Amino acid sequence: MTRPPGRLAALLARGAFTVTGEIVPPKGASGDPVSEHARGLVGYVDAVNLTDNPVASAHMSPLAGVIFVADAGIEPTVQLTARDRNRLGLTADLLGAWALGARNVFCLSGDPVQVGDHPDAVVVRDLTVGDVIGLARRMRDDGTTLANTELADPPRFLIGVADVPFAEPYDPSRLESKLDAGADFVTTQIVYDADRLAAWADVMRPRGLFERAKVIIGVTPLRSAKQARFMDEKLPGVHVPSPTIAALEAAGEDAGAVGMDLTVELVGAVQTIPNIAGIHLMAMGHDDVTRELIERTGLFPRPTV
């Protein structure tokens, strides 16, 4: 395999601690919100994920978001779910996303439609998420589609997948099957407990995870005790330690500032865990939060390629 040519791939290959961000395309037909968010992140992140109908709710296509992010000067990562497309659509979108400037693809099963705004939607799921990973890898490494059609200009994506280290129970074989299919990097569910993350890494290290893929840790600063309790109780695989919730409760109106302080400490602790390759910051559209966190953790300016 020839190394994918993007910025994120180059930084991961040389062992730099990477920073990725996320933009949720709007529930509307204007690209201005995507452009505005992207401009706010220039210089602070190495790549930006464009989400694909998150929480099974209809948004602007992530492919449209790709071009606005690329035009702003950030490397786009396109998310594609198996939920909404058959193999024809997935092949077409992989080709289109590369043409528009995406250099990384993030392969997901997709949230269940029952939780979204179209609960009666027909789920496609022609391919499993492992099949989607394999399709992206085949197009890149073999230059062919699932129909054995030769591609004149194959897309050469860095291929990413999700994992939930604090799932109960945690089944490492689910992640390993994605790596077997061809994934290059892993982005985790949101993490608030660095000690528990280190314990997970210690379990996964003898299984060869860190030799097989780069691991990026999901991070989201908390803004209130109410938000912390919701994430702890309602989001699968998210564990917010009770001292964190107590600190936010005690902070009252200053909970946002305390949440930022705690996240700065968390990122510092994550950086001390051997083999962790970076953080993925989900700031829910608050670009000022992203900039403050990256500056305070010493991760600004970002390295050149």
Render pLDDT for 161-176 as a digit per residue (tens, 0 to 9): 999 999 999 999 999 9
In this predicted structure, what is the pLDDT of residue 59? 98
In this predicted structure, what is the pLDDT of residue 284? 87
Q: Which residues contact 154 (CB under 8 A, 6 or more apart)?
A: 139, 140, 143
Confidence band, pLDDT 50/70/90 cuts, at residue 41: very high
Confidence band, pLDDT 50/70/90 cuts, at residue 1: low
What DSSP element (H or E) covers 217? strand 214-219
Task: Tell me the pairing of strands 214-219 and 18-23.
Answer: unpaired
The answer, yes or no, to whether residue 29 has pLDDT greater than 80, is yes
Render pLDDT for 119-160 as a digit per residue (tens, 0 to 9): 999 999 999 999 999 999 999 999 999 999 999 999 999 999
The answer, yes or no, to whether residue 301 has pLDDT greater than 90, is yes
The dihedrals phi and psi of 121, each to the nearest 5 degrees, come to: -60, 145
Give the pLDDT mean for 177-183: 98
Give the pLDDT mean for 86-115: 97
User: Domain extents for the chain?
Assistant: 7-221+275-296
Domain 7-221+275-296 has CATH 3.20.20.220: yes
Render pLDDT for 218-255 as a digit per residue (tens, 0 to 9): 999 999 999 999 999 999 999 999 999 999 999 999 99
Long-range Cβ pairs for the range 31-38 (8 Å, 24+): 31/60, 31/64, 31/65, 31/67, 31/68, 34/60, 34/64, 34/65, 34/68, 34/69, 35/68, 35/71, 35/72, 37/285, 37/287, 38/68, 38/69, 38/71, 38/72, 38/73, 38/74
